[in-house]
Structure 1
Amino acid sequence: MINEPYYILAGEEGFKGRLLDAYLAAGYYRMMHTIFTTHYTQVIIEGAPMPVFWLRTQVQKIKENRKAIAIRRQCALFTITIKKAVVTGEVEDLYSLYYNSIDFSTASTCYNCIHDKDMPNPFDSMMIEIRDKGILIAAGYFDLGQNSIAGILNFYHPAYKKYSLGKYLMLQKIDYALANNIAWYYTGYIGTSFTKFDYKLFPDTVAIEVYLPVERKWVPYEMMGKPGLEGYWANILKDEV
Structure 2
Amino acid sequence: MSIILEEFTKSWVSPSQYDYLLENGWRHFGENFFRYNINIYNNEICNVLPLRVRIENFHLTKSQRKILRRNKNFNYKIQKVNIDEEAEQLFSIHKEKFVDNVPNSIFDFLSEKNPTNVPTSVYEIRITDQEKTIAISYFAIGAEAISSIYGMFHPDYAKYSLGILTMLLEIKFTKSNNLLFYYHGYCYDVPSFYDYKKKFSNLEYYQWDNNKWEPYLVEQGVNTMK
TM-score by length of 1: 0.84
Match of residue 71 from structure 1: 67
Q: Which residue does 1:209 correspond to in 2?
A: 204
TM-superposed deviation, 1:9: 2.3
Q: Shift of the alpha carbon at 1:188? A: 1.1
Q: Are the aligned partners of 1:106 and 1:113 in contact in 2 as well (CA < 8 Å)?
A: no
Deviations 1:70-92 (A, max 9, x none): 00001001111100112222101
Q: 1:212: Cα distance to partner? A: 0.6
Q: How many residues align?
A: 223
Q: TM-score, normalised on structure 2? A: 0.90
Backbone CA RMSD of aligned residues: 2.4
Q: Report the CA distance between 1:184 and its aligned residue.
A: 0.1
- Kept in 1, the 8 Å contact 2:153–2:163? The answer is yes
Q: 1:4 to 1:116 in 2, by over 3 A?
A: farther
In the TM superposition, what is the alpha-carbon distance from 1:194 to its structure 2 partner?
3.5
Match of 2:178 among 178, 181, 184: 181
Give 2:213's aligned residue: 218
Alignment check: 8 A CA contact 1:131 1:137 kept:
yes
Deviation per CA, 1:2-24: give whole Å up to 9, x if none.
3352012226xx12411100111
**Equivalent position of 1:172 in the other structure:** 169
- Who wins on radius of gyration, i.e. which is larger? 1
Structure 2 residue aligned with 1:110 = 106
1:32 corresponds to which residue? Answer: 30
1:163 pairs with 145, 160, 166, which one?
A: 160
Gaps of 5+ in 2: none
Partner of 2:118: 121
Query: Higher strand proportion, which one?
Result: 2
Deviations 1:58-111 (A, max 9, x none): 122211111100000010011111001122221010111111133342313212
Percent of aligned pairs with the same amino acid: 25
Distance 1:31 1:138 in 2: 19
